[in-house]
Structure 1
Amino acid sequence: MAAQKLTLAVRPRGKPVKKLPEEVSIPANGRASELYNQLALEAGTTIHRLRITKGSDGAFIPNTQHLKINLTGLREQSTIYVKDLGPQIAWRTVFLVEYLGPLLIHPLLYLILPSTASGSGPSYLQTLTLTLVCLHFVKRELETLFVHRFSSATMPAFNIFKNSAHYWLLSGLNMAYWIYLPSAPAAQESGPMITVPGLALFIIGELGNLSNHLTLRNLRSSGGAERGIPQGLGFGLVTCPNYMFETLAWVGIALVSWSWSTVLFAVIAAAQMGVWAKKKEMRYRQDFGDRYQKKRFSMLPGIW
């Protein structure tokens, strides 16, 4: 017996979408991803540029094979609105470009700026800071290539400039300039009472963050968008221990570098991660209900 087909009225939302059909027919038990594929094919574009919403209530219809059309509330002659999101770029590419900035800028200014007043070259702390910063962002690049799985394939292409500015300017140019100057505090030697704890926090933070990222990776299949409740190192303490360990690592770099520019970046990064962690806690509560053990603190125990 052939599957029942639904004929849907198609309307553009915002600027017109070239070649967008006025209606589309799709099996009632078909997948939402099939609707995206069919519309993208007829409009001569990619599925990543399209956003589909219901005409009745404006509800978003996600591009997923886990949702059937007959479960979206769409019926025969229902109207759907299709929005062109504009040029897109892969999230993985965005991350690689973001983290490349500090990896280029720090070694460059380390070599160019006169590192000590006597001209004898970089100090031990400046060299150590360079090493820690590069290790951090090399780890980020490798995780982007081999660990992270993205629930969304792309983002608006223009956003790469906004996202990259945070890393290229704050953790790149601003940090590097003030760390490698001959008059910088890092040009002087610091006692082990500060440097050693800084190194310890960096190592703990980076290893803990990597452990959390591996845990989160294993919650989602390759190419999948399913969600799960993470368990493991730190997840019983806060919602997002990966952000907690990230913050610890940057506190460690700040102690080694003796630079207010590092503190500035760490504070701004922690504030942004705190916002993300709070949203993640709300999403867990909404998605999993009583199955999820609610957390009082989303990122930093006793603080946030």
Structure 2
Amino acid sequence: MTIADRMHCYKDLLNFLSLGMFLAGILHLYHHRKIQKCYGRHMASTNTKMLPARLTWFIQELPAFLVPLLLMLTSHKPYSLGKMLLLGTFCLHYFHRTFIYSLLVRGQPYPLSVMLGAVISCSVNGFLQGHYLLHCAKIEEWKTFGCLRIGLFLFYIGMAINIHSDMCLRKLREKGEVNYKVPKGGLFEYISAPNYFGEILEWFGYAIATWSIPSLSFAVFATCFIGPRAIHHHRFYKRTFKHYPKSRKALIPFFL
């Protein structure tokens, strides 16, 4: 019998981690509401250790894919189709981020400290979502209300927006180029950061699909991290490009 077979639902631990993730997001939002200098275009000159973007994305996203997968593979308990569908959906996102996006990204080098922080948060979140779904969730009790279908629909719409927007950004630069350009196509015609909008839609859709505090806490966490970046990206474009479309919003079409 494996450790995973004997694992109970550690509800108190899940609540603690969920609260911690929620508070971490709120604190990040508070400290970065006026300035974004962690990485990328907003980062100030620094002597910190830098790593290639592709290597960074691969390393930092990998734990969120591996941890829930290992929790599932090391257990011989039978799981419902609903649980497998939701866990597979979560792993699909991080499979793409780890093994596809990381090979295609053309971003600037990332600070080592940012990568280490992301490794920790992805590891915690991988355990949080995986353990909840495998050992605590009782999906069959509420899935008839349509939460599963609605949530997964929103998740996959968000994922499609996210992937398409990243593709539009990659097409802006030829190999070796570092200059920023005005993005076009898809939801870029309406907002400056549809890649972030898509990811936020993914995780709130996932929270609806699982109808759980752990998933909601991560949706809030993700929004607090990338939401402010979307607003600062918008300000960067308006400041850098004189004829940047005035009708574009930052994050939510026609609203924000």
By percentage of residues, which structure has more helix? 2
- 1:108 matched to 2:108? The reply is no
Which protein has greater RCO, CA pairs closer than 8 Å, 6+ apart?
2
Counterpart code for 1:164: V
Aligned partners of 2:131, 2:229: CA distance in 1, in Å? 29
Counterpart code for 1:172: G
Aligned partners of 1:105, 1:159: CA distance in 2, in Å? 20
Q: Deviations over 1:181-237 (max 9, x none)?
A: 1x3233656126222222221221111111111110011121211111111111122
- 1:237 matched to 2:187? The reply is no
Structure 1 residue 303: Cα displacement: 5.4
Which structure has the larger Rg? 1
Aligned partners of 2:73, 2:212: CA distance in 1, in Å? 18
Partner of 2:131: 177
Seen in structure 2, the aligned counterparts of structure 1 residues 185 and 258 have a Cα distance that, compared at 3 Å, is: farther
By percentage of residues, which structure has more strand? 1
Residue 235 of structure 1 aligns to a residue in which SS?
Answer: helix
Partner of 1:130: 87
Partner of 2:106: 149
- 1:255 matched to 2:212? The reply is no
Aligned partners of 2:114, 2:212: CA distance in 1, in Å? 29
Relative to the length of structure 1, the TM-score reads 0.63
Partner of 1:224: 177
Structure 1 residue 86: Cα displacement: 4.7
Seen in structure 2, the aligned counterparts of structure 1 residues 240 and 158 have a Cα distance that, compared at 3 Å, is: closer
Q: Is the 8 A contact 1:97 1:164 kept in 2?
A: yes
Q: Deviations over 1:76-115 (max 9, x none)?
A: xxxxxxx98254322211110111111111112234568x
- 1:188-203 aligned at under 5 Å gives the runs 188=141, 190-191=143-144, 193-203=146-156
Partner of 1:300: 252
Partner of 2:54: 92
Relative to the length of structure 2, the TM-score reads 0.74
Aligned residues: 211
Partner of 1:246: 199
Seen in structure 2, the aligned counterparts of structure 1 residues 139 and 85 have a Cα distance that, compared at 3 Å, is: same
Structure 1 residue 251: Cα displacement: 2.1
Q: Deviations over 1:39-84 (max 9, x none)?
A: xxxxxxxxxxxxxxxxxxxxxxxxxxxxxxxxxxxxxxxxxxxx98
Aligned partners of 2:227, 2:49: CA distance in 1, in Å? 30
Identity of aligned residues (%): 26
Q: Is the 8 A contact 1:125 1:188 kept in 2?
A: no
